[in-house]
Amino acid sequence: MPSLQLHCSFGYVKMILDVLLISFTEFLFQCITGFFPPIAMKQILDYLENGGEGARFRPWMWIAFLFMGPTVSLLVCKKSPD
């Protein structure tokens, strides 16, 4: 029975699959944490406009989210020198 010949690109992808998965995960985290500051800013402004009525969280939590988004993004996607 003859062996199935695959294109050389499949071998290359198989060889660097772990790098591709890590890069995809980093990209996903950057996309998710990119939404933290705008959401936090909207919640802070809503809190100030309404005087705190109907707010589920205090503004200090949203202020933490303002800084947490970029910080988490940098820490997750930090490349260590090889």
Domain boundaries, the chain: 8-75
Q: Which amino acid is at 78?
A: K
Whether the Cβ atoms of residue 62 and residue 47 lie closer than 8 Å to each other: yes
Residues of the chain with pLDDT under 50: 81-82
Structure tokens at 32: 């998710």
Q: What is the pLDDT of residue 1?
A: 54
0.85 exceeded by pTM: no
Side-chain half-sphere of 11: how many Cα atoms within 13 Å?
A: 5
Q: What is the pLDDT of residue 82?
A: 46
| Separation of alpha carbons 28 and 76, rounded Å | 10
| Separation of alpha carbons 22 and 75, rounded Å | 14
Q: What is the pLDDT of residue 2?
A: 60
Side-chain half-sphere of 28: how many Cα atoms within 13 Å?
A: 6
Spell out the residues 6+ positions from residue 23 whose beta carbon is closer than 8 angstroms to its own.
none
